[in-house]
Structure 1
Amino acid sequence: MVETPVSSCKKWRLCFRSVRWFMLFLCCFKSIVSGQIRYSIPEEMKKGSLIGNVAHDLGLNVERLRSGHARIVTRQSIQYTELKTDKGVLVVKERIDREQLCGDVTPCSFSFEVILENPMELHQITVEITDINDNFPVFRKGEIQLEIGESAALGSRFLLPAAEDADVGSNGLQTYLLTASDAFGLKQHSNPDGQKYAELVIQNALDREKEPRISLRLIAVDGGSPPRSGTVNIDITVLDANDNPPIFNQSLYRAAVLENAIKGTYITTVNASDADAGSNGLMTYRFSNVKKHLTDTFSLNEYTGTITLTGEVDYEKDKKYEIMIEAVDQGGLTDSSKVLIEILDVNDNAPVINVMSFSSPVLENSPVGSTVAIINVIDADSDQNGKITCSTDRLLPFKIKSTLTNYYALITDSSFDREAVPEYNITVQATDSGSPSLSSTTVLHLKIADVNDNAPVFDQISYVTHLIENNSPGVSVFSVTAGDNDWNQNARISYFLEDTAINGSPASLYVSINSENGAIHALRSFDYEQVKELNLVVKAQDGGS
C-alpha cells in the first residue's frame, strides 16, 4: 500500500489509496494417462462372469475408479461388458456369441475405452472372444444330384457343395468323408481363406448298364472335442457317352471394380471349351458354392460367361470376393475355375468426430498445456482415404495433440485472460487425405472461469472536498468509488478507513464510511479553529479468496 502525500493548504483534504490483494492459485494438471490391456475369454460365458481385474491390471486402486467416475465408452450397439467400480473388475453384461459378433473373422475381439476424470485418464481395453464348438457343419442342400456320363475319364472331378460351419479354427470344418464306393473317391481342397471343399473323383470306369444310379453319403466333420458332423446324400445318375469335359482356359481369373460402381458394371468374362461335338459340346456356366449375398451382388450369364455387378459393393465391408465358376456340358461333365474380384476403395466416408470428454469452464490461470477435451475421430475408409488430420483455428490459444490411435487431446497453447476474452467457440476439424478430401467439424463452447487477479482501483488517486464548520453530526461529507475488472464475488468491493490520527485521536472518532457504497459521514460537529483539515486513507478490498 502506497500513501499519497498530504497537501498543507487550510482545507479539509481527503486522500485515499488503493490496496491490492493478489491470491495465487496453483492448479496441478497432469498429462493424460493412457494404458492398454487385453483379455481373452470364451464365448457364451454367463452374465456376471469375471473377465479381469481392471484396477489391478492398470495399476489403479478401487477408490481411484470411484473418485474418477470411471466409465466405459464403446461404439458397439450392445455393451457386452460392465465395469464394477466398487470391486475394480470387468464382468460379462450380455451374452456374447462369437459367430454373431465376428462371423468368419479371426481373431474375434472388440475394444472399448475406460475414461476417468480428475485427472483425465484414458485406457483402452480389448476383449478377445475365443471359439467353442457350438455349431454343426451344415450343407445348404439336403441332397446333391449329379449326372455323369459313363464315358467320363478316370480322374474326372466333380465339385461338391461345401458345408458351412459357423465355428472357426480347430472347431471349424476340418475334413470330409465319403461312404465306401468302388467308382468314386474324394479329393479335398482348401481356399486361401481357409474354406474347405471337396471334389468327387472317378476311380473306376462307370457302366450305366450295370449301375445306372449310385447313392453316396458325404460327411463333413469339424475338429471339436467331441467332433460334430453334418451329412448330405449324393444321388448320381449315370448318362450315356460324353467323354470330354469342358476345360477353362484359366484356372484363376482376376478382376477389380470400384466400390461406387453402378449396377450393370462389367466385371470379367470366363471362358471354357469342350472338345465334344454337337449337343455334347454345348455347355453352360454357373456359380458353385457361393453364398446368397454373392448371387445378389454379381450375375453370371450362363451362355457367355460374362460376370456383371447387380448389387452394391462396399470396400469397408468386403475388400475382395472369391467366386467358384463351373462349366457344365450337356452330358453333365464339369470343370471349375476361380474368379478373384478385388474391390477398390474410394473416399466415400467423411471422418466422424466424437467428443469423449469436455471440461468447461476452465480457470483463467490454467497452465499452458492443460487438457480441455478428449476427441475420438473415426474414418471408415482405408489407407490415404482413412488417414486423418485433426486441427483447430490457429488464431485461438489451443492446439490438438494426438494421443492413442484415433484419439486426440485439445490442449491450451497460451495463457487465458477472462477480462479480455471470457469465452471461446472452438471449431475442431477432421480432414482425411483422400482426393478429393472429406472433412467434418464440431464446435466446442468453452467458458473461462474468473480468478481474483485484479485489485480494486479508485477512479481518482486523491479526493479533495470542503465542509463548513458547525456541521450536524451524521452529515454526508463525500463518496469515493472504486472498480474491479474481476467478476462476481471477486469484483464485490468493500470500503474501510485506515488507522490515521486527527489531533492525536483516531480518525474513526471523527468520520465513518459506508462499507458498501463508500459514503463518508461526519460523526461530530467540527470547529475550524480546532480542526482545519482531515487527512484520511480509505482502503477498497474485493471479495475474492
Structure 2
Amino acid sequence: MEFSWGSGQESRRLLLWLLLSVWEAGSGHYSVLEEAKHGTFVGRIAQDLGLELAELVPRLFRVASKGRGNLLEVNLQNGILFVNSRIDREELCGQSAECSIHLEVIVDRPLQVFHVEVEVKDINDNPPVFPATQKNLFIAESRPLDSRFPLEGASDADIGENALLTYRLSPSEYFSLEKPSDDERVKGLGLILRKSLDREETPEIFLVLTVTDGGKPELTGTVQLLITVLDANDNAPVFDRKLYEVKLPENVTNGTLVIKLNASDLDEGLNGDIIYSFSSDISPSVKSKFHIDPVTGQIMVKGCIDFEESKSYEIIVEGIDKGQLPLSGHCRVIVEVEDNNDNVPDLEFKSLSLPIREDAPLGTVIALISVSDRDSGANGQVNCTLTSHVPFKLVSTFKNYYSLVLDSALDRESVSAYELVVTARDGGSPSLWATASVSVEVADVNDNAPAFPQPEYTVFVKENNPPGCHIFTVSARDADTQENARVSYSLVERRVGERALSSYVSVHAESGKVYALQPLDHEELELLQFQVSARDAGMPPLGSNVTLQVFVLDENDNAPALLVPQVGGAEGAVSVVLLRSVGAGHVVAKVRAVDADSGYNAWLSYELQPVAGGPRSPFRVGLYTGEISTTRALDEADAPLQRLLVLVKDHGEPTLTTTATVLVSLVENGQSPKASSRALAGAAGPEGALVDVNVYLIIAICSVSSLLVLTLLLHTVLRCSAPPTEGACGPGKPRLVCSSAVGSWSYSQQRRQRVCSGEGPPKTDLMAFSPSLPDSRDREDQPQTTGESFAKVRL
C-alpha cells in the first residue's frame, strides 16, 4: 500500500522514529512498522542471542513463525533479521491493540530454542470508511427542533491515534453535527435539527459528512447525506431505552430469543403502528446471525454464535410507523457473547532430537511442544502432563511452550524405546483434553562387554583326532546392539612346552568354533589349558576371556612292552636253570611289561600259552603279577628243557598283545645251578640238550669262580688304596629291578619312569629270581618279596 509521507520535516521525523523503534530494551524483543519494504532491517538477532555467525549454517539455524508464513527472515551470513514480505498489521491482528509476530529460533547440535517477539507497529495506511457512500434520510417537516437523527459512524482499520476519528459536516442552516461522546454506547454520531423544516420551501437537502483520522499524514473519508423532507407525521416511534445490553452464550440453537424490543408511538391508527427492522447500515455478519420479527420486535438467533469468531455484536434497530409520512425511532442492542469450553486443546510437536543416546546427560532437550486453546479465560488455560514412570519430564519454557527433557539416566539394555503420551487439559468445567504421543528410541553406546555363560569349560577329546576337527564352540553374548554387539573371537596366545598354543588349536573369529590343528597324543599331552578372548566391535572395544580345559582321552594305541627287550624280538628266548628238586609254588622267573596307555588300556594281564600236542606244563604264570612258578614237584618224566610262551595283553578295545619266551633248563641236584648265556632253542633232543647243559654248566662254574676271585682281589685293593666313590648306578653293575613293585597295574601308572641301566650300552637282560626257601603258597596275586635270590641271565 502506498501513502504520502507529508512534508519533508514530517518525513524525517517518521524515518527517525522508524529507526529508533527497530530495537526495544530487553533481549528477544523487536519492533517493526507495518508495510515496511522487503529487506528492512529489524535486528541483529544472532548477535543478540549470543550465537556465532560461523555456526549458524552448521547448526541448522532456522526461524519458524506459527501461522505467519515467511514475513520475516534471517540472513545466515550476517545474522540480521529483515522483512521478507509485506506485513499488514490489520490483516494479522485486526483491531487488537497489541500485535506481535512470535518467532521460534531453533538451532541444533545441541538443540536450543529461543523465543523472539517482533511487535508490528501501526502506520496510518487505512483511511476512515463509511458503510456506504450515500445515505438517504427521510425527515418529516413536523419534527421539532433539536430532534436527533442517528448516523452510522465510519470505521478505521488502524488503531490508536491513527484510528482517532474526527467528524466534520458541510455548512447547513438546518442541521448541526452531534459528535460521539466518550461513551459511544449511549450516544453516538447524529444530526441535530436546528431550524424547522419546510417541505414546500426545501424538499431536499444535500450534506457532506467528512471524517478525518488522527494519523500523520491524516486520511479522510466522506459520505453524502440526501435528506428528503416528508410531510407531517407528528410523532415518531420511541423505544423504551436507547441502549440494550444482552449476554448470550455461544453455540445456542437457532431460534433462541435474544431480546424483545418495545417501541411506542403517540399517534393513532396507522401512524401509531410500528414495524421493526434492522438498520440498513447493519453489518452483514449481524444479518447472518440474527433475525428480528417486524411485528413483535423479537430478535432471535438464526446462525452459529461462536465466541472465537466474534465476542460481541452491535445491532441498530429501527421502529417505523405506518403513517402517510412514516416516522422512525432507533435503538442500539449490544450482544455480548459468553465463552463456553467448546474447543479442545491443540498439541503440536516441534523440533525432535531423536534417537537419544543412552549416555545423554540429564536435562537434554528431546522435543519442543506447542499447546494452544481457542477458548478464553480458564477455558483457554492449558496444563500439560506426561506419562508417569518414565525418565523424562515436561518443563514449561515460554507461554504455551513445553520442553521434553531427560530427567533420569537411560539404559538401552533395560528399555530400548519409550512410548510417551503428552496430555493437554484445559481449565474449563468440564475440562477438555487432547493427547499426542511420540516414540523415543534410545540409541546404544558400547557399555557392555561380551559375556560368556560360564568362566570355564571342560572339554574331552579323544587322542589321534583328525587334523582340523571341531572340538568345541564358545559363545559370548553382548547386551549391546549392532556394531557394539558384533563379537569376534581369538586365542590368548601362550607357550605350551616348546611350541606356541596356535600350533595346537585355532578359533574361528566369527563362529567361535575351536579346532584342533593336529592329532593330539594323550601320552604326550594330557591336558591343554588355554583362554579364548571375545571382543566386540564398539569404539572403544570391550572384551572378556573364557578358559578351556581340553582333556585328551586315551585310546588303546600302544601295545604292552616288555620291561627288558627280547633279543631277536619275539623269536628270542630267555634261559633259566632250575633244580629238579624244587617243590610246587617255587617262583622261577618274573615277566614284567609296561603299557604307555592309561586306565584300562594299560591294565595288563599274563597268560601262559600251552604247547600244541605236548604234555601239560608243570608251570603257571600269575594273571596280574607275571610271576612264573611251579604247579607241582618236578620229576624225571619232565623234559630237561621247558619252553614257556607268556602272552601279555592289555584291557583296551581292541586288545593289544605281546609275547615273551622263557627256556627253563632242569638240572639235577648235584649240578651247579648257573644260568647259561646261550639260547637253548637249538638242541637236537632232550638227551643232547642235557649233555650240552652239563658242559656249559661246568664251563660257567669255572668262569664264575675265576671271576669271583679276581673281583674280590680287585675290591680289596681298591678299598685299601683309594677313597670311597659315590654313585647310584656304576658302570658294569647291573641295575636290579626291585621285586617289591608287585604287579604290572601299579607299575603301568608310572608311565614315564625310566629304568637306569648304567652308563654303558644297554644290555638285553631279563631279571629272573627264585626264593631261597620253597613255598607252596599261591603267588598269583601276592608274590614273595623277602629272602629272594637273583640270577642275571644274559641272552
Partner in structure 2 of residue 351 of structure 1: 345
Instruction: Determine whether 1:71 maps to 2:62.
Output: yes
- Once the two structures are superposed, residues 371-399 of structure 1 have per-residue CA deviations (whole angstroms, 9 ceiling, x without a partner) of 32211121111223222232232143333
Match of 1:7 in 2: none
Alpha carbons 2:65, 2:104 under 8 Å: kept: yes
Within the candidate set 101, 107, 129, 2:120 is matched to: 129
Letter of the 1:103 counterpart: G
Q: Could you say what secondary structure the match of 1:101 adopts?
A: helix
User: What displacement does 1:189 show?
Assistant: 0.4
User: SS where residue 67 of structure 1 aligns?
Assistant: coil
Letter in 1 for 2:458: V
Q: What residue in structure 2 maps to residue 303 of structure 1?
A: 295
* CA deviation string 1:288-342 (max 9, x = no partner): 4422211221122333321111222211121122223333444555443321211
State yes or no: 1:46 paired with 2:40.
Answer: no
Quick check: 1:36–1:124 contact (8 Å CA) kept in 2?
Answer: no
* Further displaced range: 469-478 or 443-452: 469-478
Distance 1:411 1:237, change over 3 A: same
Output the CA distance in 2 between the equivalents of 1:96 and 1:169: 18
**In the alignment, which residue of structure 1 is the partner of 2:239?**
248
Displacement of 1:209 in angstroms is 3.6
- Determine the C-alpha separation between the residues in 2 that align with 1:465 and 1:238: 124
What does the per-residue CA deviation read over 1:41-81, in whole Å, with 9 as the maximum and x for residues that have no partner?
Answer: 22222223222221122222223432331222333163322
| Distance (whole Å) between structure 2 residues aligned to residue 521 and residue 234 of structure 1 | 112
Aligned-partner residue type, residue 298 of structure 1: F
Residues 186, 242 of structure 2: 8 Å contact kept: no
Structure 1 residue aligned with 2:371, among 370, 374, 377?
A: 377
The offset of 1:343, in angstroms, is 0.9
1:544 matched to 2:544: no
**Number of the residue aligned with 1:393:** 387
Question: What CA distance in whole angstroms lies between the structure 1 residues aligned with 2:216 and 2:462?
Answer: 112
Task: Determine which of 229, 235, 239 is the counterpart of 1:238.
Answer: 229
Cα displacement (A) at 1:534: 2.7
Residue 527 to residue 346, structure 1, CA distance change in 2 (3 Å): same
Distance in 1, Cα, partners of 2:187 & 2:148: 16
442-451 or 520-529, which deviates more = 520-529
Partner of 2:151: 160
Aligned residue identity for 1:291: S
1:416 matched to 2:410: yes
Cα distance in 2 between the residues matched to 1:165 and 1:229: 10
Q: CA deviation at 1:453?
A: 1.9
Shift in alpha-carbon separation, 1:190–1:37, aligned structure 2, 3 A = farther
Equivalent in the alignment of 1:178:
169
Q: Counterparts of 1:318 and 1:527 in 2: how far apart (Å)?
A: 100
For 1:15-34, what aligned pairs fall within 5 Å after superposition?
A: none
Separation (CA, whole Å) in 2 of partners of 1:543 and 1:436: 57
Cα distance in 1 for partners of 2:201, 2:523 equals 152
Q: Could you say what secondary structure the match of 1:171 adopts?
A: helix
SS of corresponding position for 1:534: strand
CA distance in structure 1 between the partners assigned to 2:191 and 2:354 by the alignment: 71
Contact persistence 1:162–1:196 (CA under 8 A)? no
Task: Tell whether the 8 Å contact from 1:38 to 1:126 is kept in structure 2 after alignment.
Answer: yes
Structure richer in strand, relative to its length: 1
Task: Give the AA of the match of 1:270.
Answer: L
- 2:116 aligned partner, one-letter code: I
Secondary structure of the residue that 1:458 maps to in structure 2? coil
1:453 is matched with: 447
* Distance (whole Å) between structure 2 residues aligned to residue 210 and residue 400 of structure 1: 80
Q: Quick check: 1:492 aligned with 2:486?
A: yes
Q: Give the one of 135, 138, 145 matched to 2:136.
A: 145
**Cα drift, residue 285 of structure 1:** 3.2
Letter of the aligned partner of 2:390 in structure 1?
L
User: Do structure 1's residue 271 and structure 2's residue 262 form an aligned pair?
Assistant: yes
Specify the code of the residue in structure 2 equivalent to 1:464: T
Q: What are the residue-to-residue correspondences of 1:74-93 with 2, within 5 Å?
A: 74-76=65-67, 78-93=69-84
In structure 2, what residue type is equivalent to 1:188? Answer: K
2:191 is matched with 200
Paired letter, 1:306: Q
State the one-letter code of the partner of 1:353: L
Written as runs of structure 1 = structure 2, the 5 A alignment for 1:458-477 is 458-467=452-461, 474=468, 476-477=470-471
- CA root-mean-square deviation: 2.9
User: Which protein has greater RCO, CA pairs closer than 8 Å, 6+ apart?
Assistant: 1
Structure 1 pair 196–68 and aligned structure 2 pair: CA distance change class (3 A) = farther
Which amino acid is 2:302 matched to? Answer: T
Q: CA deviation at 1:200?
A: 0.5
Aligned with residue 287 of structure 1, among 270, 278, 286: 278
Q: Percent identity?
A: 42
Residues 352 and 367, structure 2, Cα contact 8 Å, conserved in 1: yes
Which blocks of at least 5 consecutive residues in structure 2 are unaligned? 1-25, 540-795
Q: Give the 3-state SS of the residue equivalent to 2:91 in structure 1.
A: helix
Offset of 1:356 from its aligned partner?
0.3
Matched residue pairs, number?
511
Give the 3-state SS of the residue equivalent to 2:189 in structure 1: strand
Shift of 1:354: 0.7
1:179–1:216 CA contact under 8 A, matched in 2: yes
Q: Shift in Å at residue 145 of structure 1?
A: 2.0
Q: 2:658 is matched with which residue? A: none
The answer to whether the Cα contact below 8 Å between 2:344 and 2:434 also exists between their aligned partners in 1 is yes
Residue 480 of structure 2 aligns to which amino acid in structure 1?
A: D
Instruction: Work out whether 1:189 is the aligned partner of 2:208.
Output: no
Aligned 8 A contact 2:111 2:353 in 1: no
Partner of 1:28: none
Distance 1:227 1:196 in 2: 25
Q: What amino acid maps onto 1:297 in structure 2?
A: K
Equivalent-residue separation in structure 2 for 1:263 and 1:454 (angstroms): 69
The 2-side partners of 1:460 and 1:167 are apart by 82
Structure with max Cα Rg = 2
Q: Larger % of helix: which?
A: 2
Provide, for residues 156-214 of structure 1, a one-character-per-residue CA deviation record: whole Å limited to 9, x for no partner.
11012322333333333511111111221111105768999521101222333433332
Q: Which residue of 2 aligns with 1:320?
A: 312
Amino acid at match of 1:309: V
Give ranges in structure 1 of 5+ residues lacking alignment: 1-34
> What CA deviation, in whole Å up to 9, does each residue of 1:90-143 have, x standing for no partner?
222222222333332323333232222222222222232223333333333332
- Partner letter of residue 47 of structure 2? H
Q: Secondary structure at the match of 2:313?
A: strand
State whether residues 185 and 243 of structure 2, in contact with CA within 8 Å, keep that contact through their aligned partners in structure 1.
no
Q: Indicate the residue corresponding to 1:407 in structure 2.
A: 401
Q: Aligned pair in 2 of structure 1 residues 490, 522: CA closer, same or farther (>3 Å)? A: same
1:111 partnered with 2:105: no
Q: What residue in structure 2 maps to residue 444 of structure 1?
A: 438
User: Which amino acid in structure 2 is aligned with residue 250 of structure 1?
Assistant: R
Alignment check: 8 A CA contact 1:213 1:238 kept: yes
Answer yes or no: is the 8 Å Cα contact 1:485–1:491 preserved in 2.
Answer: yes
Q: CA 1:197–1:167 in structure 2 vs 1: closer, same or farther (change >3 Å)?
A: farther
Residue identity in the other structure for 1:303:
V
Contact 1:164 1:173 in 2 (8 A): no
CA distance 1:192–1:59, shift in 2 (3 Å): farther
- Name the CA distance, whole Å, in 2 between partners of 1:528 and 1:310: 106
Report if the CA contact (8 A) 2:278-2:317 is conserved: yes
Distance 1:196 1:492 in 2: 86
